[in-house]
Amino acid sequence: MTHDCTFLTDLDLADDQISFGTARREAHATDWGTDEDDGIAPDAVVWPESTADVSAVLAAAQDHDVPVTPYAAGTSLEGNPVPVEAGISLDVTRMDAVLDVRPDSFQVDVQPGLLGAEVNEAVSKHGLYFPPLPSSGDISTVGGLIANDASGMKTVKYGEIGDWILELEVVRPDGEVMTLGSKAAKTSSGYNLKDLVIGSEGTLGVVTRATLELTGRPEQIRGGRAIFESLDDASEAIFDAVRSGVDVATIELIDTLSARISNNHLGTDLPDAPMVFVEFHANHSIENEIDFCRSIFADHDVERFEIADDEQEMTALWEARKELAEAIDPFEPDLEQLTPGDVTVPIEQYPTMVQYIKDLADEYDLLIPTFGHAGDGNIHYAILVDRDDPDSVARGKEAYTRVVEQAIEYGGTSTGEHGIGVGKRAYMVDEHGEATVETMRAVKRAFDPNGILNPGKIFPEDVD
């Protein structure tokens, strides 16, 4: 379905803020998780440069009943910013300013197109940083991180992005501008609409400014790697460490297959064995936490526990984990990943869930490297299939579905950080129940009664 978007030329926008060109439109038809054949190009791309621009575009689009899909870096994995009904792709990457740093209040105001890593660059001279930033912050924008309520390796200590958002400026689908939340450390005033917008994947409004809470950089940072004989030992050690209250900033797992993939990619000679990667943050007595962790790992037959003496050595010890995402695709040239898996379960179910995935790999005769942010129960998995073999693809899709369904059965979620987008809409009712999903629909209708903002996302079918 195409839409007449020529009304955009009547708005107070510069010529280079609007494009109807094929190349620009096709570039906004996909994200990292959407194949070119599956993407739908918008009818126009708009690059707003201010809140006023966003407001004008949304108001005009509503008047003309044209859908608008917010877009930024395009690094999402579930089709979150990809149009499904053409219309306008609203690319906020030109809104990339650091507006104000208030070090005495531990706050910074930023626009949505700013890369996450640039937040830390802007505040580092004050001895501050934004601790929940995931490793993808180097390539993801603040707006995208908020839209997905992103999280990452340090979530076990610092929580999700949403836990560090104080205030948002948000443009409604009708063009009206709202301020949600407060710059105060806490508030109990009115409905918490800010947290409704966080994680809503651009379906309720467009964030144009965010006030982020900051904290001081820890004086001590140490990290390293532990190697275990079995996956059971590694996953049980993680569960035991978290349950026992070891104060880790990061605790990551890779399984035996993932270790082999990393070794192959890096040309290293580490054992093909499960590994756990840890990082500790403290202002004093960091050795006490390291020793605490070491003692717990020893109870689970750790074979090697190495803690770096400096940042350079820690980087070397962590290389097998940090390079894993890049190592998977070239490992077996004839195989490709399905959509990268992302489930989270209660920490007590973490060892069981990891083993369930490995059992599925054997049952379906598939390679499924398993890894992830183990400290908060987040498991990533890559199901490798032969795209030219329909049976291989079918087995992979069935295994993928069973992983998600089992995570939900364990009281977990279909997505810990990638979001619902298009790819996981089918699991919403199973995870939340029909009544809850209908309440979410009612919220969507209250914000967006005409259904113009990022339609076709989150819900099992389109919102009325």
> Domain of 165: which CATH number?
3.30.465.10
Alpha helices in 125-266 (DSSP H): 142-147, 155-158, 193-197, 231-244, 256-266
Looking up tokens 């929580």 gives 159
Query: In this structure, what CATH number is given to the domain that contains residue 395?
Result: 3.30.70.2740
CATH number, residue 56: 3.30.43.10
Same domain, yes or no, for 242 and 159? Answer: no
Indicate whether 382 pLDDT > 80.
yes
Write out pLDDT tens, residues 238-248.
Answer: 999 999 999 99
Which residue bears the tokens 């942010």? 373
Both 73 and 89 in one domain: the answer is: yes
Same domain, 229 and 300: yes
The C-alpha atoms of residue 274 and residue 463 are separated, in whole angstroms, by 44
Q: Which long-range contacts (CB under 8 A, 24 or more apart) does 35-40 make?
A: 38/79, 39/82, 40/82, 40/83, 40/84, 40/85, 40/86
Could you give phi then psi for residue 365, rounded to 5 degrees?
A: 55, 55
* 464 in any annotated domain: no
CA angle 204, 400, 436 (to 5 degrees): 35
Does residue 386 belong to any structural domain of this protein? yes
Segment 277-299 mean pLDDT: 96
Within 10 A of 214 (CB to CB), how many other CB atoms are there? Answer: 22
On the question of pLDDT at 269 being above 90, the answer is no
Of 216, 244, 270, which closes a domain? 216
Euclidean distance between CA atoms 267 and 454, whole angstroms? 44
- Confidence (pLDDT) at 270: 85
CA dihedral 263→264→265→269, nearest 10 degrees, is 30
**For residue 325, is it within any domain?**
no
Boundary-marking domain end, from 60, 93, 126:
93
| Count of H-run helices and E-run strands, the chain | 15, 20
The helix (H) or strand (E) run that includes residue 23 is: helix 22-27
104 with 85, same domain: the answer is no
Is 453 part of a structural domain of the chain?
no
Q: Which of 95, 105, 127 is nearest to 213 (CA)?
A: 105
β-strand pairing of 68-71 with 88-91 = parallel
The token duo for 234 is: 């590694």
Query: Residue 262 belongs to a domain with what CATH number?
Result: 3.30.70.2190
419 closest CA partner among 165, 145, 137:
145
Return the exposure string of 260-283: e unless at least 16 CB atoms fall within 10 Å of the residue's CB, then b: bbbbebeeeebeebbbbbbbbbbe
- At 463 the pLDDT is 38
When pLDDT is averaged across residues 394-409 and rounded to a whole number, the result is: 98
Statement to judge: residues 161 and 186 lie in one domain: yes
Query: Could you tell me the pLDDT band of residue 157, with boundaries at 50, 70 and 90?
Result: very high
Q: Which is higher by pLDDT, 49 or 1?
A: 49
Report whether pLDDT(201) > 60: yes
pLDDT at 309: 87
- Residue that has been written with the tokens 């990551």 in this structure: 252
Of 26-40, 91-105, 255-269, the one with minimum mean pLDDT is: 26-40
Q: Which of 93, 111, 127 is the last residue of a domain?
A: 93
Which of 51-60, 165-174, 307-316 is least confident?
A: 307-316
Residue 155 shares a structural domain with residue 106: yes
Q: How many domains does the chain have?
A: 4
Enclosing domain of residue 374: 332-419
Are residues 107 and 86 located together in one domain of the fold? no
**Do residue 253 and residue 226 come from a single domain?**
yes
- How far apart CA 202 and CA 92 sit, in angstroms, is 12
The CA distance from 429 to 435, in Å, is 9
pLDDT confidence of residue 181? 97
CA–CA separation, 436 vs 196, rounded Å?
Answer: 14
Q: Is 320 domain-assigned? A: no
Enumerate the β-bridge partners of residue 344. Answer: 378, 413
Specify if 316 maps to a domain: no
| Residues 455, 87: Cα–Cα separation, whole Å | 10
Round to whole Å and give the CA distance between 120 and 133: 9
Q: Are residues 127 and 211 in the same domain?
A: yes
Stronger pLDDT, 320 or 236, i.e. the higher one: 236
> 210: closest CA among 130, 104, 153?
130
Instruction: Give the residue-averaged pLDDT of 282-294.
Output: 96
Whether 347 shows a pLDDT value over 60: the answer reads yes
What is the side-by-side order of every strand in the sheet holding 341-344?
302-307, 220-228, 275-282, 250-254, 370-372, 378-381, 341-344
178 and 110 part of one domain: yes
The chain-wide mean pLDDT, for the chain, equals: 95
Only one residue has tokens 């076990």, namely 156
Is the pLDDT assigned to residue 374 strictly greater than 50? yes
pLDDT band (50, 70, 90) for residue 464: very low
Same domain, 118 and 200: yes
Residue 458 has pLDDT above 90, yes or no: yes
Residue 438 lies in a domain: no
- The answer as to whether 321 is a domain residue is no
- pTM here? 0.94
Domain shared by 151 and 137, yes or no: yes
